[in-house]
Structure 1
Amino acid sequence: MSPRFGVHSEVGRLRQVIVHRPDVSLERLTPANHHDLLFDDVLWVEHAQKEHDAFVTLLRERGVEVLYHHELLAQALDADPRAKVHAVERTVNHLTVGPVLVDEIRAELASWDGARLARHLIGGLTKAELDGDDGAARGSLVTAAADPNDFILPPLPNSLFQRDPAAWLYDGVCLNPLFWHARRLETINQSLIYHFHPMFRDAGITFWYPPLGDDGRFDEEDFGRASIEGGDMMPIGHGTVAIGIGERSTAHMVEKVALELFAGGGATRVIAVTIPPHRAYMHLDTVFTFLDVDKATAFMPVMASASAYSLRPGDRAGTLDVRLEGSVFAAFADALGLAELEVIPTGGDDNQQAREQWGSANNFLAVEPGVVVGYHKNQWTNRTIAAHGVEVLEIEGFELGKGRGGARCMTCPILRDGI
């Protein structure tokens, strides 16, 4: 287990976190492609950067060390020659650029420095950016038939939401197989950081998924129809992990992660929570987050009827004991040793609750017990939880929120205290 990193609760003091500042990947959003790239609208990127900068400033003022994803990726690519090889082999192949140009494009990208390569691994690469004079079209049907603005490498605008592709569960990390095709290369970028950046490479990190092979090799395997995302994954404390099963995370992957956690001593219990497979409730943390050691907020039209299953190690290796719980909230309280978990509903009447949940009103990031960050626009919910003794640090999110994520979604904690 790594002594330097670990996330041991949802609300213990937050020490270190990774974020991604809005960049060229968001400038690639257009009215024609934003739905395919999972955004509700195109963003005013300059304003989104200002909102994000203010968010980072707030975290730093609260004593949180903030690291930038794109800087870590660039440093990883420069730190180890194997990183560039892995990056170009996983992103450039006969299926992405056509068989004729594989070697040529791999050689070109491998010649770039880390900063330039990281920019395009996240921001995308067009035919014109790679070969302005269309020389690469000679001998390649793929590029001959392509428009200059067609992507050779796709942009990854959802890199803004660092929560999903990598998730720390206690002393180890999961590099997650993401549900939508538009996001899957994000996990490759995370893998490059954790395997090749000196800060992580030499830290003795445990990978819950995918586990390292006996020879120390790793692979972001083809996971078929099974997927899991960090917005559904919560190390709530006391050795328990909550994981949502809904639009983005499947029961198959919950079983896999649970077995790895139990086998490695990373957790003693996993509580699987079923939520509707609907975009409005894409992750568990869009309808439920912890606010304090004994308080949480929930969108009750979903969470009041959600089912919970407790998973524990079975009586033989590689098996599980699976039991249906009577109540999600009671299961959480039991896992945390509480008489009762105080659940604070989304604020306002039915219409206001629906509007604010859509605007990430239940997607809070705790910086310490009872102190959370959330969007200023969700006034009904913010006032409601403040009335229950929780301090709300408000940030603007008119542009940031167009990707359907709030403060928790935008952060990947890598060091957080227990409770």
Structure 2
Amino acid sequence: MSSIVEITSQRDTRNKLKHPIHVTSEIGTLRTVLLKRPGKEVENLTPEYLQRLLFDDIPYLPIIQREHDYFAETLKNRGIEVLYLEKLVVETLSNPEIKKQFVDDILRESKANVNGAASVLKEYLLSFSTADMVDKVMSGILKKEIEPEKKSHLYEFMEDHYPFYLDPMPNLYFTRDPAASIGNGLSINRMREPARRRESLFMQYIMKHHPRFAGHDVPVWLDRDFGFSIEGGDELILSEEVVAIGVSARTSARAIEKLALNLFKRQDSIKKVVAVEIPKCRAFMHLDTVFTMVDYDKFTIHPEIQGPQGNMNVYILEKGVDDEHVNITHRTNLQEALKEVLGLNELVLIPCGGGDEIAASREQWNDGSNTLAIAPGVVVTYDRNYISNGLLRQHGIEVIEILSSELSRGRGGPRCMSMPIVRENLHK
């Protein structure tokens, strides 16, 4: 027979999980996750504009969709509810007035008024059904789609070789970055690169207008209007009391401090924010490309982020004397800092590629350290990183491999492609 304490604990957990967002760890059993199936936006990549759109190669759409569907089915087969960004956006914009406001916002943020084209683009977008309009916004609008039958203005005769009025958003299938769930709230992020900055507008609208989230007063710990960049790939929820955030090529120290201040001011659970500085380069784009949590006391890591004797810059932020200040203490050893903030006597760092100079570099490039934990000690990884996967298994981790020949071309792994919405609390 269950004790009164156990029954009360179960009831408390169910009540907490009624909130539309609930994420208090990296490894708690995943219940609901947000994905985006790659679409036409991937086919609008061309060699000339890869760098502008933050890609190194052009994925083959039918195969990347097949691989993404396999990923989604893998999660569903484990009892995880999969929400799709594109579907949520369509449902969010069912109200015609909200739809019009969204079009105004997306055109303004896209700086789409080329030669005064904004009014024509607005009319063009609103001529579609909501579903087709959302697909068009995500995939991009080519100039040739709305060229006038007869030229009547001087600018229409001018050569302009850039093909898009509205740039495609090929990075959308990396749903981790535009927003990040933290406790019962989230950060809606200012993205570092202009090519991705519009992406978090979708989440802003979903939180404000979608019936699943609107009316629940979901706290936004940091909004996308803040002047400094932060991205979800750098935000890791280590426990109910500790958040780790990478100081990276995409996330600034100022945004981390502001998020910490807001968390300490507006909620009581999170006590520490651990800022982890990593090399600022494309290969180490976010903290989760070089470091992820896979069990209570186990993490993957790419050894190259550490200096001699494992040294690197780690800063622990805690509540200060008032709401405008944080206390900051410096550590130089990541492993020791993690043991300290998590209250662990022992902790294992599992090296990507087994620490081998060639294998580690190759598998990290293909996101060997970018694991998605769906329960304590159970992770989803790319099949191509067989050395890292084998090492995880040697450490007692259940590894679920997914197909990755085309998905990996975007330089992001299973964690990058997923935004947890609800996780169960860890048992203490």
Same fold (TM over 0.5): yes
Partner AA of 2:259 in structure 1: V
Q: Which of 210, 234, 237 matches 1:235?
A: 237
Partner AA of 1:152 in structure 2: Y
Partner AA of 2:104 in structure 1: V
SS at match of 2:213: helix
SS at match of 1:86: helix
- Superposition deviation, residue 170 in structure 1: 1.1
User: Cα–Cα, structure 1 residues 178 and 93, in superposed 2: closer, same or farther, change >3 Å?
Assistant: closer
Partner residue of 1:196? 209
- TM-score in terms of structure 1 length: 0.92
CA contact (8 A) 1:128 1:134 kept: no
- Superposition deviation, residue 78 in structure 1: 1.4
CA contact (8 A) 2:370 2:415 kept: yes
CA contact (8 A) 2:249 2:285 kept: yes
User: Cα–Cα, structure 1 residues 29 and 101, in superposed 2: closer, same or farther, change >3 Å?
Assistant: closer
Q: 1:317-370: CA deviations, max 9, x gaps?
A: 211101102422222222222112211111342111111111100000001000
**2:46 equivalent to 1:39:** no
Structure 1 Cα separation of the partners of residues 233 and 271 of structure 2: 21
Unaligned residue ranges in structure 1 (runs of 5+) = 211-219
Pairwise CA RMSD of aligned residues? 2.0
Partner residue of 1:221? 225
CA contact (8 A) 1:15 1:65 kept: yes
Partner residue of 1:407? 414
CA contact (8 A) 2:312 2:332 kept: no
Partner AA of 1:14 in structure 2: L
Partner residue of 2:5? none
Structure 2 Cα separation of the partners of residues 140 and 183 of structure 1: 32
Partner residue of 1:334? 340
Partner AA of 1:342 in structure 2: V
SS at match of 2:128: coil
User: Cα–Cα, structure 1 residues 116 and 149, in superposed 2: closer, same or farther, change >3 Å?
Assistant: farther
User: Cα–Cα, structure 1 residues 192 and 284, in superposed 2: closer, same or farther, change >3 Å?
Assistant: same
Partner AA of 2:276 in structure 1: V
**2:376 equivalent to 1:373:** no
CA contact (8 A) 1:88 1:109 kept: no
Q: 1:374-419: CA deviations, max 9, x gaps?
A: 0011011000110000010001111000110000000011111232
Partner residue of 2:12? none
Q: 1:213-247: CA deviations, max 9, x gaps?
A: xxxxxxx4262xx2110000011113111000011
SS at match of 1:306: strand
Which contiguous aligned blocks of 4+ residues in structure 1 show a shift greater than 6 angstroms?
none
Q: Which moved more, 1:378-387 or 1:76-85?
A: 76-85
Structure 2 Cα separation of the partners of residues 53 and 10 of structure 1: 23
SS at match of 1:198: coil
- Superposition deviation, residue 31 in structure 1: 1.7
Q: Which moved more, 1:404-413 or 1:316-325?
A: 316-325
Partner residue of 2:4? none
Structure 2 Cα separation of the partners of residues 138 and 192 of structure 1: 38
User: Cα–Cα, structure 1 residues 201 and 146, in superposed 2: closer, same or farther, change >3 Å?
Assistant: farther
Report 1:252-291 matches (<5 A).
Answer: 252-265=254-267, 267-291=270-294
**2:158 equivalent to 1:150:** no
What is the count of residue pairs matched by the alignment? 405
Q: Which moved more, 1:406-415 or 1:68-77?
A: 68-77
Partner AA of 2:331 in structure 1: E
User: Cα–Cα, structure 1 residues 380 and 181, in superposed 2: closer, same or farther, change >3 Å?
Assistant: same
- TM-score in terms of structure 2 length: 0.90
Partner residue of 2:3? none
CA contact (8 A) 1:166 1:174 kept: yes
User: Cα–Cα, structure 1 residues 162 and 138, in superposed 2: closer, same or farther, change >3 Å?
Assistant: farther
Identity among equivalent positions (%) equals 36
Structure 2 Cα separation of the partners of residues 146 and 125 of structure 1: 18
CA contact (8 A) 1:83 1:196 kept: no
Q: 1:99-133: CA deviations, max 9, x gaps?
A: 6333343244234332122112211111222x254
**2:317 equivalent to 1:311:** yes
Q: Which of 28, 38, 42 matches 1:22?
A: 38
CA contact (8 A) 1:163 1:408 kept: yes
SS at match of 2:47: coil
User: Cα–Cα, structure 1 residues 51 and 127, in superposed 2: closer, same or farther, change >3 Å?
Assistant: same
Q: 1:22-56: CA deviations, max 9, x gaps?
A: 10000011122222211111111100011001000
- Superposition deviation, residue 98 in structure 1: 3.4
